[in-house]
Amino acid sequence: MADCPPVAIVCVGMAGSGKTTFMQRINSHLHTKKTPPYVINLDPAVHNVPFDSNIDIRDSLNYKEVMKEYNLGPNGGILTSLNIFATKIDQVMGILEKRTKPDPETSNARPIKNIIVDTPGQIEVFVWSASGSILLDSLASTFPTVIAYIIDTPRTSSTSTFMSNMLYACSILYKTKLPMILVFNKTDVQDAEFAKDWMTDFESFQAALKREEDSGSFGGVEGAPGGIGGGSGYMGSLLNSMSLMLEEFYRHLSVVGVSSMTGLGVTEFFDAVREKAEEFERDYKPELERRQQERQKQKESKREKELEKLMKDMNVPSSASKGPKNTEATRAPRKDAIDTISDMETDEDLGNLEHDSDPPTDEDDEAASNSNGDGLSQRYEAALADENRSGNGQDHSFSRYLHASRMN
């Protein structure tokens, strides 16, 4: 187990779900076990955090200054701060790789087994932004990465809010494509057994939904005829359909009830983390590698197409069709070739110098056309026509200009 890579635990959750307090609890738990984690804070707008961060986005960026400089609101300031920080992800990953590898010079140093990451309370700013994808993909490409979705248990006691959290968790799972643990926080206020029953027993959720319909929770009047509390029945039907849809989704999740205040359930949380880390190595990592290979192939294909288009625009033949006669190495340089454009311009300015060079040959015309495209070929033919009309025998024509341009 000592050779196992450290696990990155990325904590996400809505504002007020107790995410930061949960971070403090698991950090304290790991310190108690003599296995201190490596802590990263990615929330630029937080004033104080109850734990020490090894990497803190606030050390690199001033959230209020970003808002002022770019004339942004709160969410825009957080998003822009994350985007700027994401440009340094290579430095962050370099630090993590260095800190997680055992140092042979300090054999008594304990290797890091966990990396915990705190994110902004605005989930969409992190999960659905380009910077969030860059940070998560970078972590997942190096370490087994697990998403811990923190849920406020007391506020999830109704079927509608419960289903809203489940839909959000479903969207995060399929957006990040990483193993997820549902952490029902604040179990010291309300036990999370009801949520576990709703996820494992469909009939239990249906019974709770029926009770809320009868009590008029969906806009009706309690005790009204029709068995739907006097409402239209749309909300109950919608929740019923979504619960059927998410039944398969629940099977891929680990559910843990945790109290960040008392520490109850933290041990079960880290048991779930170990299971998800094994699942990452078994199921998720091959898929990530396959997607990375596909992206690399797409980049190479796109690069080849762009190069082919560029060569076509320049009228440059492919390497397979090039013969020895088209290469500069097989063609002997002319004795009187002008070395620089400035030399040619000087001769033109003097106007009375005589030149001994031979007139341009067909070989020069072919090289000029191949290296400069159809447009240059037309200009070359026009230059020859002007020279023939003038009849003055001057040879600093367009072919010499082409030679000078290539050499310069």
pLDDT one-digit tens code per residue, 36-93: 999 999 999 998 888 999 999 999 999 999 999 999 999 999 999 999 999 999 999 9
Q: Would you say residue 317 has pLDDT above 60?
A: no
* Maximum Cα interatomic distance, the chain, rounded to a whole number of Å: 112
> Mind giving me the DSSP string for 18-62?
-HHHHHHHHHHHHHHTT-PPEEEE--TT-S--SS--SEEGGGT--
Confidence (pLDDT) at 134: 92
Distance from C-alpha of 400 to C-alpha of 408, rounded to nearest angstrom: 12
Q: Would you say residue 335 has pLDDT above 80?
A: no
Q: Are 188 and 21 in contact (CB under 8 A)?
A: no
Could you tell me the pLDDT band of residue 390, with boundaries at 50, 70 and 90? low
Confidence (pLDDT) at 259: 95
Percent of the chain with pLDDT over 70: 71
Confidence (pLDDT) at 344: 44
Confidence (pLDDT) at 27: 95
Q: Letter for the amino acid at 369? A: S
Could you tell me the pLDDT band of residue 1, with boundaries at 50, 70 and 90? very low
Q: What are phi and psi of 233, to 5 degrees?
A: 85, 0
3-state helix, strand, coil in the chain (%, to 5): 55, 10, 35
Could you tell me the pLDDT band of residue 406, with boundaries at 50, 70 and 90? low
